[in-house]
Every structure is written in structure tokens, then in C-alpha cells.
Structure 1
Amino acid sequence: MIRIKSPSRLHLSLIDLNAEIDRVDGGLGITLDYPGMNLTAEKSDTINITGNSDLAERIKRSAGSVLPGGHGINIHIEDDILSHVGLGSGTQSALSAASAVNEVYKLGLSVRELAEKVGRGGTSGIGVASFEYGGFLVDSGHKFDKKGGFSPSAASKADPAPIVFRHDFPDWDIILALPDGQGAHDTKEVDIFKKECPIPLEEVQDISHVILMQIMPAILEEDIDTFGKGINHLQSTGFKKREIALQSEDIKNLIKFMNDVGTKGSGMSSFGPAIYGFSDSRIQSKKIQKDVQNMLDDTVGGRAIITRPNNTGAKISEV
């Protein structure tokens, strides 16, 4: 029997949804140690998924897309990631299931090959790379003439985007607010891409400048103040600005509230509603967590947690 423990991820922003220079998507993100997906797997004659998870059907489909003909697998889900809240549950569950089959049957497939088989990474490469490497990641998107349009990963058949920058995320606390409810997904997500794209080129240039000259150097220099300024800026431009505009006033207020109570930068992951902020003081982190939990209790409900970066990716072991 094997065990797979995969991370979740924050998707901080897409970079280029203009495509004037024949490249589209691109993104940056941070791998999280928790929440995560934890499952065990062993050979079987059929495909059996057990454990209380709304990701069970996705896991079954993903396992089936990798299984050799005439074989099966037993997968037990011990812990999972909330669906459609901005933490990458779709990619992590699909890759966990595919990796389980890969390990149990010793198929020798790479993470990228598994991602292609289960159809993940067609817009953002961050989730696939989080599973494989962990850390802070920037991907370079896809050639527009090959992808053929603006669409989310779930509706794209493009290969996973190549990673152009990967570095261990500094030893900072990540305060994560998980409001009750779900963000846009499935057909609604597709419709948003169709309506909002292409994004004006000057906004894409603004995002690229901030990422290259502010956020990436701040990671290398472990400068949380500069990093936080860059994160705050991303919320007000490009596709991220449009994702936030779709949220309720409570969610919009929560982003601002995190900064007001002491985080060094705050933002929304993917289509939300997960909101994050950063701190380099454990005492301050606990105070922020308490304040954010009180706000959630008074508004939309949900929970606030302190998590940490994952700089290694998924863990696979025998049990």
C-alpha cells in the first residue's frame, strides 16, 4: 500500500490574458503545507474510492484515465481540500489519484505526463508544479496559437505550462481565511473568461513589471514588506481585479481587513473565496487569525487558519 500526501496552493494571479505577443496565461503561486489531500492506495480488480469527500468522483475518473487495461485500484481518502474555494483541489486530487496508480503499478510516468493524462494544467501550471516541486512558482503560459483562446484549466486541453521560476518560499506565516461558499467554476468560469478577455495590454505590462521587479526579488531577498506591496498591487489590476469584482462586499472587505489588522500584503486566491495574508511574526499571526475569525463569524461564516509554505511538493511513501 502507498500513501500520497499532496499540498494545496495559492494562485496569486494570471499574468497575460491579452495574448498580443502570441502567449497567454502565465501565473504565479505559492504551495501550501495545509490544507492538503491525504490518501492511501493498493491494487484491486476494480476501481473503489472510499472516504467522505466530494472529490471522490474526480478521483475515480483520474485513476481510470491512467490505469492499465483490466486493472483496478482501491483508494481511501483520509483528508481532502475544499472544492472551488481557490486552493487547487481539482489538480491536486487528479494528480494524487494518477500518482497512486503510477506508484502501485510502477508505470514510471512523470508528473507532467500524469497531468496530461488527467487533463490538468491547461491554463495555469502552478498546481502541477506545486505537486511536483512545491515552493514559490511562476509559469510562462502557452503559445496562443496552440491553445486557441482564453479559457480556464478545466476547459483547456493545452499541456501544463512550463515553469520559469521556482524558489523556496520564505519562512513566513500564511494566514488563510476560508469563507463559507464557493467561487466561480465550470460553465460560469468559462463564461467569465469569454466576457472579460482580452485584458488591456497596459494592465498585463503592469502585472509583469510588478512580478519581475518587485515580487520575485522580494522572494530572493526575503523582504516581506516589498513582497506584500507587490501582492497588494496585483489585486487592483488585470484579471485578478475582475475576479475580485465578482465577489460579495464581505469578501472584498475581508481583503482590506487583513491588511488593516497587520498582514504584509493580502489577496484572493484564484476565483476565491479564499483570502490570504502574510506575517513574519508568530505573535502577530495569532492575533490576525483571531481578528479574521471574528470577522468571518460576524459576516459570511467560515474559518481562519495559520498555515506554512510547502517547499517539497507531494510526499509519496509506502505504508
Structure 2
Amino acid sequence: MVYVRTPARLHFTLIDLNGSLGRVDGGIGVAIDKPNVVVKATLSDHLEVHGPKRNLVESILRRVIDALNIDSGVKVDVMKTIPEHVGLGSKTQLSLAVAKAVSSLFELNYDARHLALITGRGGTSGIGVAAFEKGGFILDGGHSFGKGKDKEKFLPSSASTAPPAPVLVRYSLPDNWLFVVGIPAVEKGAHGAEEVNIFERFCPIPGREVELVCRLILMKILPAVVERDLSSFGEGLTEIQGLGFKKLEVSLQPPLVKELIASMLRWGAAGAGMSSFGPAVFGVVEGKRAAISLLSDVENYLSAVGGECFIARANNVGAQVSKEAVLTIGS
């Protein structure tokens, strides 16, 4: 038997949905140590799936079995899942967990990029695939764009057949940089046909805003990661909320999501923003005491409107694969 336990991820922003340089997408994000997908794969006489999201997992499993030319039965137990359509990358982690568990069960050493191709993930953002593979803070380089290229039009990962984006930069984040994540009980983030429609309606993004996002990443956020400067890191993430595609994502949310971002800053977060299409909101702080204080404020806020919140740190190792029950995951 094989167990796989994955991180979740915070997606800070897509970088370039303008495309005038012949490249699109790109993104920054971080793997976090919770919540997790945990799956177990064992040999069986036939294909079996147990646990939540059975139809989705069975579809993933059949796709993996066919692609890897496996003619034996497999049982997959889904023991833990990440909430879906809230901005934490649940489908990519579940898809890769199932694919990795099955491939490892048959001692096939396929990397995360190959498994992402098999399962159809990572066609816009490369953050989830890279988070599964090695964790950490990630900058991906997007996809070639134009006739005959990786992508010929603007599409989300769920509708794209492009290969996973290359990882340009990957750094471990300090253990004492903690993320307080709040998920208000509002409508789920855009997904499926709605997500495709957003890309079609609002892209291309103005080039000037893309340029500003790139400058913030290159000259503020990345140096802050290398120099362990949480203040600059947080400022950069906050500024990005008002630029480019991220500005659009935030604008589509109900007022209380925007209020929570602003409130986290007021309550002491070094930086705050929304992950992917939301509604998950994050605030980053230094140290456990600051995280507990911010969590308390977020809990009080959500007690009136509904939702959940938790403290997470960067997962700097990626998914954990074991032949024994996976109880913990390194950070």
C-alpha cells in the first residue's frame, strides 16, 4: 500500500494575462502545511474508490490507469480532502495525490509534471504542481502564447491542455512566517464555465498593470524572500491585490471578503490578500503570538458572518509519500 499526503497552496496572483510578449500566465504562490489531501492506494481485484468525492476520484483513477497502462485492480481510499472552490487548490492536489499513489504502488517513478499532464492539471498556473513536488514559495514562468504555441487563448487551468508551467524560482520560507487563513461562508470562488467566461471577458489585461506586477515581484517580493524581510514581503503581496488579474479576482468577490482583507491589515498582518479566485483570504505575520492574535480577530469577524479560519506555515518539502500511514508532513 502507498499513502500520499499533500500540502494546500495559496495562489497570490497570475502575472501576465496580456500576452503581448508571446507568453501568458506565470504566477507566484506558496505551499502551506494545511489543509491536506490524504489518499491510500492498495492492490485490489478491481477498481475501487472509497471516501469523499468518489465520482471525481474514480474519473482521475481511470485516467491514470489508462495512461500508465496498468492492468491490475487498484483500491483508492480518500482519507482527507481540501475544501473545494475556495482558493486552496483542492483539485490539483487530489489529482496528483491519486496519480502519485497509484504510480508509486506499481513502482513507476513519474515526477509531478508528468502526473499533472496525465491528470490535466497545471495548464494555467504552475503553482499547485510545484507545491506538490517540492513545496515552498514558487514563481512559475507561464506558457508560450500564440498560434501553434502552448496556449492560443486565455484559459484557466481547468480548461487548458497546456503542460505545467516551468518553475523559475523556488525558495523555502522561514518557519516563523505564519499565514492566518480565513474562508468566509460566501458563494464559492469562480470555477468551471464561469471561470472560463471570466478569462474570455476580461483578458487581455492592460500591459501597464502587468508591468507593475512584474516590478513588484522582481524588485520587492523576491528580494524580501531572500533577505527574510517580512515587512517588504507583506507590502508587496498587499499591493498586488490592486493590480492586474488579481484586482479583477478581488473585484468579483462580495464586500465582506474585501473587508476581511482590509481588516487583517488593520489587525496587524504584514500583508494580506485573497488566494486565487477566493473566497479564502490570508494574512501573513511573524511568530506564533502574532498569528494567534490575528486568528482571534478573524474568528470574531467570521462568527458574525460564518466561515472557518486556521493558522498555516509554509510547507517547504511538498507531498509526502510513504508505505506507512502518513501522520505528519514536514514544513
Tell whether 2:50 aligns with 1:50. Answer: yes
Tell me what 2:318 maps to: 313
Tell whether 2:155 aligns with 1:151. Answer: yes
Tell whether 2:164 aligns with 1:160. Answer: yes
One of 198, 203, 208 as aligned partner of 1:197: 203
Q: CA deviation at 1:65?
A: 1.3
Tell whether 2:291 aligns with 1:285. Answer: yes
Give distance in 2, aligned partners of 1:183 and 1:95.
21
Counterpart of 1:37 in structure 2: which amino acid? V
Q: Does the 8 Å contact 1:45/1:70 carry over to 2? A: no
Tell whether 2:287 aligns with 1:271. Answer: no
Tell me what 2:97 maps to: 96
**Partner SS, residue 294 of structure 1:** helix
Cα pair distance change 1:69/1:284, threshold 3 Å:
closer
Tell me what 2:220 maps to: 214
Counterpart of 1:192 in structure 2: which amino acid? I
Q: Please show how residues 291-302 of structure 1 align to structure 2 within 5 Å.
A: 291-299=297-305, 301-302=306-307
CA offset digits 1:124-160 (Å, max 9, x no partner): 0000000001000000000002211101000000000
Q: Does the 8 Å contact 1:60/1:97 carry over to 2? A: no
Give distance in 2, aligned partners of 1:46 and 1:297.
46
Q: Does the 8 Å contact 1:16/1:24 carry over to 2? A: yes
**Partner SS, residue 273 of structure 2:** strand
Q: Please show how residues 222-301 of structure 1 align to structure 2 within 5 Å.
A: 222-299=228-305, 301=306
Q: CA deviation at 1:69?
A: 4.5
Tell whether 2:118 aligns with 1:117. Answer: yes
Size of the alignment, in residue pairs? Answer: 316
TM-score normalised by structure 1 residue count: 0.97
**Partner SS, residue 33 of structure 2:** strand
Tell me what 1:29 maps to: 29
Q: Please show how residues 121-140 of structure 1 align to structure 2 within 5 Å.
A: 121-140=122-141
Give distance in 2, aligned partners of 1:151 and 1:255.
27
**Partner SS, residue 35 of structure 1:** coil
CA RMSD of aligned residues (A): 1.0
Q: Does the 8 Å contact 1:41/1:73 carry over to 2? A: yes
Give distance in 2, aligned partners of 1:56 and 1:264.
40
**Partner SS, residue 205 of structure 2:** coil
Q: Which runs of 5+ in 1 are unaligned?
A: none
